[in-house]
Amino acid sequence: MDRSYRMNISRRPDSTHIHLKGKFDGSLASLLVQALEAHCRNPGRIVVHTDTITNIHPFGIAVLQSHLPRLKSGPAKVTFTGENRDRIAP
């Protein structure tokens, strides 16, 4: 298993928090898209924390951005936080 990235998900009554750590490549972006798809069907907030992302690869950005319009149109409000938020989800 590639240990260059990690994603942790924690649920609260009114929100879901996704913490990304390590390199943001196509693999982590795909995992993030899958997690968002699984949780964006329900109302509430989804907060994606980007503070502990290290290397950001253009392909990872492209994978995520190709899915974001659809994911953000669901009932859940998707928010990106942290110093890397503008780089991966402008």
pLDDT 10s digits, 5-36: 999 999 998 899 999 999 999 999 999 999 99
pLDDT 10s digits, 67-88: 999 888 888 999 999 999 999 9
Q: Greatest CA span in the chain, whole angstroms?
A: 34
**Contact at 8 Å (CB) between 2 and 27?**
yes
Average pLDDT of every residue of the chain: 92
pLDDT 10s digits, 28-49: 999 999 999 998 888 899 999 9
CATH topology of domain 5-88: Transcription Regulator spoIIAA (3.30.750)
- Pairing relation of β-strands 44-56 and 15-24? parallel
**pTM for the full predicted model:** 0.91
Domain residue spans of the chain: 5-88
**Contact at 8 Å (CB) between 82 and 51?**
yes
